[in-house]
Amino acid sequence: MERVNGPLLEFTGVTLRFGGVTALDDVSFEVEPGELFAIIGPNGAGKTSIFNCLNGVYRPQRGTITLDGTSLLGRAPAAIAGLGVARTFQNLGLFAHLTLIENLMLGRHHLMHTGFFSGMFWWGRAKREEIAHRAAVEEIVELLELEPYRRMPAGLLPYGVAKRAELGRALAMEPRLLLLDEPVAGMNLEETEDTARYLLEVRRELGLAMILVEHDMSLVMDLADRVLALDFGVVIATGKPSEVQDDPHVIEAYLGGAA
Amino acid sequence: MGAHRNVTRGYADELRLFGTPLARTGLAALVVVFLVLPTVVQNDFWLSVLIYVGITAIGAIGLNLLTGYCGQISLGHAFFIGAGAYAAARVGGEIGLPLPLWLLAAAAIGAALGGLIGPFTLRLRGHYLAIVTLGLVFIGEHLWRNLTDLTGGNSGTPVTAGASIGPIDFNSLNLFGESYSRNQGWFWLVWGLVALVALLAKNLVRTRPGRALQAVRDRDQAAEVIGVRAGQYKIGAFMLSSAIAAMAGALFGSYQQFVSPDEWNLLLSIQYIAIVIVGGLGTIFGAVLGAIFVGALPALIDRYSEAIPGVQTSVGGEGFISVFALNQALFGLLIVLFLVFEPRGLAGIWLRIKAYFKAWPFSY
């Protein structure tokens, strides 16, 4: 299955409908290994729907989605996570009553094996596994500078830290493809710059392919290798950030039909 | 190395359950109480209350794994407890298997029944799941009354299951030349099992499967997306909780030596809900605290009903409320008061006291 050349993700001709509403209309794109790919578009354009199709939360009516040659269609979300697709959520998907460390350890759930019985009989396998994976989690804690918050319940984390913790949980999954749903939504300028720095660092250290859904245009223009612009479920432009920024269709979608 | 005894030197140290000197002292104190209490309190009434409380604590740990940790509400706990009691009557009494085996048999039967009901949790949540599991209590009552070969029907069945582990018979305990009463033996048996079940449950909730249960409770869709098969864990939690309930039922039946279908009613389920809410949802020791607090109530009310004004001591006697109705009302009241004033339960109060002394003399 491992292919040396060719795109990591192929998203081809995907159409998703809810009753009479077409959320995605024949959307196609590819993501190369190690690429930072951004998806932009006004509210309701279908950006998050793309993620939900990738995750297996929604099942599109038409089209194919393959990761490294393996089809993702029809697989359960948990199975897709096992194939190496990680995600952060637009409005925080942390488990509020669990501590930050426990949240990150949950990211490693699919890499661990302890079941009900070996968990109950702690000594031996379960304990060894806890310690080994805790060490891996600590590397992420260090990378994202989350040390002061280890034992804090995720529900009590400050907003910016919680966003970073969610990124950490996604990284703990050791993914091949990372989906970031508005990582800087609701952040001020400094927090946004911090996040950009972390994303660049993650990219440099881990060489991950990422898909970024974001409203903050300056962030997208600074970070992304390529950009896809979406409006009402239709792809209106794909290309380098500067090309997409100047595309008349994109300007029209953002500023209205005055042009 | 004496001075560094309390320094954490690695993740293994940090993961110890009784990691601080204070925690170890507390554990030692509990062990002493466990060993000495039955020799000090020899009164059969009080010992039997404590034995029922211990059995209830085991059942409550089971329900807390399902409701507190996995977020699945169940009003059907009484059904599984009843099934366990009948399993003890048949496997322990009639076939005559020894205690460890009838206890495991009850657990297996409980898990199997839980596995049958579990899939309903995939489609239902909240109130709807409560209604379906509520139905279980009534289906159970019908079954218990009509499967006469298994349950003795309306008139009930004796439970003659033995209580020996190897050479040690808890019904007539004989240790170091001393002989102990049945109640003393059962106290050690039941509270030893409480400790064992609590330890296994604590281990479960601090490792991978326990974290997955809590992830499903907090946000099941996010759990799926990071690789937790939520459906599997919901069914697993249901099976485990039912298995533990059935073990509690088996112990209950063989301690009481006789069970009848009237015991597995809705009130019993509600008592368990009250216990996990009063004790603290999502904590193991909260389930035990709750069982001590709430589980002792019915026995105490029954014993002191004459001293409580307005309570009928016999059918048609004076007073405006029966013992049964008073129990129901108190469980309801406790649930409401704790949900309103202390949703984290007794365990939450305990943690607050602990945090206060940890920070002392500072108040923050």
Delineate the domains of chain B, giving CATH numbers in brackets: 43-359 (1.10.3470)
Q: What is the pLDDT of residues B61-91, one digit of tens each?
A: 999 999 999 999 999 999 999 999 999 999 9
Residue B52: which pLDDT band, with cuts at 50, 70 and 90? very high
Q: What is the pLDDT of residues B252-310, one digit of tens each?
A: 999 999 999 999 999 899 999 999 999 999 999 999 999 998 888 887 887 887 777 77
Residue A107 forms contact with B (CB below 8 Å): yes
Q: Which amino acid is at A82?
A: G
Tell me the pTM.
Answer: 0.90
Percent of chain A predicted with pLDDT > 90: 64
Task: Assess whether pLDDT exceeds 50 at residue A1.
Answer: no
Residue A77 forms contact with B (CB below 8 Å): yes
Judged by CB atoms closer than 8 Å, whether chains meet at B214 and A121 is answered as no
In terms of Cβ atoms closer than 10 Å to its own Cβ (0-12, 13-18, 19+), residue B142 is exposed
Task: Assess whether pLDDT exceeds 90 at residue B153.
Answer: no
Specify which residues A29 forms β-bridges with: A11
Of all residues in chain A, the one with the smallest CA distance to B16 is: A127
- pLDDT value of residue B1: 42
Q: Which amino acid is at B171?
A: N
- pLDDT value of residue A148: 93
Residue B212 forms contact with A (CB below 8 Å): yes
Task: Give the E-state strand segments of chain B in sequence order.
Answer: 157-158, 164-165, 168-169, 174-175, 178-179, 258-259
Contact B45, B213 (CB under 8 A): no
Q: What is the pLDDT of residues A112-155, one digit of tens each?
A: 999 999 999 988 888 999 999 999 999 999 999 999 999 999 99
Find residues 216-235 of chain B whose CB sits inside 8 Å of chain A.
217-219, 221-230
Architecture of domain A9-255: 3-Layer(aba) Sandwich (3.40)
Contact B184, A64 (CB under 8 A): no
Residue with token string 């008061």: B337
User: What's the token pair of residue B295?
Assistant: 């589980």
Q: What is the pLDDT of residues A51-105, one digit of tens each?
A: 999 999 999 999 999 999 999 999 999 999 999 999 998 877 899 999 999 999 9
Nearest by CB to residue A120, choosing from B200, B212, B227, is B200
Cis peptide upstream of residue A7 (ω within 30 degrees of 0): no
Task: Assess whether pLDDT exceeds 90 at residue B211.
Answer: yes
The alpha carbon of residue A246 is apart from the nearest alpha carbon of chain B, in Å, by 36
- pLDDT value of residue B96: 84
- pLDDT value of residue B15: 84
To 5 degrees, how large is the angle CA B174–CA B180–CA B185?
90
DSSP-assigned states of every residue in A31-95: E-TT-EEEEE-STTSSHHHHHHHHHTSS--SEEEEEETTEE-TT--HHHHHHTTEEEE-TT----
What number of H helices and E strands is found in chain B?
Answer: 17, 6
To 5 degrees, how large is the angle CA B267–CA B270–CA B276?
145
- pLDDT value of residue A259: 44
Chain B residues in contact with A115 (beta carbon < 8 A): 208-209
Q: What is the pLDDT of residues B317-355, one digit of tens each?
A: 777 788 778 888 888 898 889 888 888 888 888 888 887
Residues with Cβ within 8 Å of B293's Cβ and at least 6 positions away in sequence, in order, are B275, B278, B279, B346
